[in-house]
Each structure stands twice: as C-alpha cells, then as structure tokens.
Amino acid sequence: MPGVRIGGTDRIDVRKTYKLYIDGAFPRSESGRSYLVSNPKGAELANASRASRKDVRDAVRAARKAAEPWAARTAMNRGQVLYRVAELMEGRRDQFVAEVAAAEGMSGRRARTLVDHAIDRWVWYAGWADKIAQLLGSSNPVAAPYFNFTIPEATGVVGMVAPESSSLLGLVSRLAPIVVSGNAAVVIASETRPLPAITLGEVLATSDVPGGVINLLTGLKAELVPVLAAHVDVDAVDTWGVAAEQQAPVEISAAESIKRIARRPKGISDAAFDWTDDRAAQRPEWIAAFLEMKTVWHPIGA
C-alpha cells in the first residue's frame, strides 16, 4: 500500500471511511452493504455506504422531527446558519477541490472553480432567507373591511434526488433553496460521484445546522428513489437527478400521497446543464418551488 516515509519508518495512509449522514450522525447502512466508487476513467476511489430502504425511513423520520423547529426559527437566523456552512466549506476548500477533481475526473483548476461556485451559492441563498417572504408574499386588496395577507410557508420534508453529473455544485444548487425557507431534506446523492456529498455532511455536522434538517444518503438510485417518492411522510420531491426513463414512475408514485414535485425544465438534461451559470443555476423560483402560500384574513378595526 502507498505510504509516506517519516523518521525512517514507512507509514500507511489513513484511508477515509465514507458513511451516511442521518440525524446529525454518521451511521453505516443498517444493511452493512457498500459499493465501489470509481472515477470516470475506472480508477477505484473508495467504498461508499449502500443505503437501504430502512435508511431512507430513518432519514425521513429524522427530517420530520427537525422540520418544525427549523421552520420556526427566524428567517434571519436560518440565513446566518447557512452562511456558517459556507464559512466552513471555505476552510476545507482544498479538501473539496481534491475530492471533486477525483470524483469528476477533472483538473484541479476546474475543480476549484466548481467548489468556489458551490461556496458562493450557499452565501447567495443564505441572503434570501429574510427576503423571499417579501418577494412572494403580499397584502391583497379586498372589497370588504378585512386585511388579507398571503404568506409563504415551508412545505415540510422534501426528498431530493441530487444531480448525477455534478457531485458538489449541483448538489448545493438544489439543496440550499430547499432548506433556506425552513424545509428539512432527505438527499439521495449522486450514485456515481457520491464522495463530496459525505464530506459536505462532515461540514454540516460541525456547523449550526440542527441534526435532521439535512440528511445525506449514498447508494443505488434504483433502490432508493422509489422508496423516497412513495413515503407518505415526505411532502415534496425534487426529481432533478432522476433518470429520464424513471421520471414518470417516480411522479406517479409521489402523486399517490399528493406530493409537491419539482423537476428539470423540459428539454434540459442533467449532463448538459451548466451549474456555473449563475443566471440559470441560482434562482429565487427554486426556493418558491418548496413553499406553500397561506392566506390569512383579519378584520379591520378594534
């Protein structure tokens, strides 16, 4: 095995063990399974946990427990918490660059560009935390002695299927708009490029994001996505990373429990989408996709 010679002795590298991230902890899959992750050229990188149906259920349970307290925080506080995630990612920038370069088979320079965009995207969405209500909410004119307000509220637990082609930037671009408004997330990471997602979990675990607000699963999408889409305690599903041939079955399964669904725009493929295009890849509409508009009536007068 490769090693580094220090003080006249050969040292064996300490290999990283990649686990799941559920409820603020790092469990192995309850099934005990793992799968081999390789780079685009076929070189072996590591073994990742192969999550099971029970792992999905555990993650949904953790998200449900965390959703209400997270939504109840002030918008300003949620923005501060997400900004802290960006701070911690900045401190581990070199590690993310190395993992993205290995996972996606690219140069360090290109990987650094993607990591910088991912950090900046957290900051961008963190800034929307206390502004999205002003953009989407309204005071509605009515022909009666009432005030009528429309107020956006978090949907609840959101299942997210991460983009397959972008291990970190695509993941952050879809995840940040889900949690900034008060939702909790259960994320199925890229199947072929899952390793940066777990490193992001390590950042989340040392940040101020409460356990359970974001849960990250690695494994085979064919096994996990149908379970997530059908789970009755999931309120919405982001299907961006679902293969085209599986979109219809997943949406039919989600519809059985009346879930809100967000999908890729028609005619846009995951592989062809440019996640570094700020005008296309960071949008307040992506926050709105996981909000419910609530209308409140209040009489005028004493």
What is the structure's pLDDT at 94? 96
AA letter at 249: P
200 is a domain residue: yes
pLDDT at residue number 93: 96
Query: Is 6 a domain residue?
Result: no
| CATH code of 224's domain | 3.40.605.10
7: in domain: no
Residue 8 confidence (pLDDT): 56
Phi, psi of 223 (to 5 degrees): -85, -35
* pLDDT by position in tens, the chain (length 302): 455 455 556 888 888 889 999 999 999 999 999 999 999 999 999 999 999 999 999 999 999 999 999 999 999 999 999 999 999 999 999 999 999 999 999 999 999 999 999 999 999 999 999 999 989 988 888 888 888 888 999 999 999 999 998 999 999 999 999 999 999 999 999 999 999 999 999 999 999 999 999 999 999 999 999 999 999 999 999 999 999 899 999 999 999 999 999 999 888 888 889 999 999 999 999 999 999 999 888 888 75
CB-hemisphere CA count at 13 Å for 41?
5
Q: Between vectors from CA 103 to CA 97 and to CA 104, what angle results, nearest 5°?
A: 90
**pLDDT computed for residue 297 by the predictor:** 87
CA angle 215, 221, 222 (to 5 degrees): 140
Q: Is residue 9 part of a domain?
A: no
How many domains is the chain built from?
1
Predicted TM-score (pTM) of the model is 0.92
DSSP alpha helices (H): ranges in 30-128? 53-72, 75-91, 93-104, 108-128
pLDDT attached to residue 103: 94
Q: Is 39 within the bounds of a domain? A: no
Residue 3 lies in a domain: no
Q: Is residue 85 part of a domain?
A: yes
**Structure-token match 């506080």, residue found:** 77
Q: Side chain identity at 226, as an amino acid letter? A: P
- Say what the pLDDT of residue 137 is: 87
The number of beta carbons lying within 10 Å of the beta carbon of residue 146 is: 14
155 domain residue, yes or no: yes
pLDDT value at residue 254: 95
171 torsion bin: left (phi>0), alpha (psi -120 to 50), beta (else): alpha
Q: Are 51 and 29 in contact (CB under 8 A)?
A: yes
- What is the extent of the structural domain holding 182? 20-32+46-299
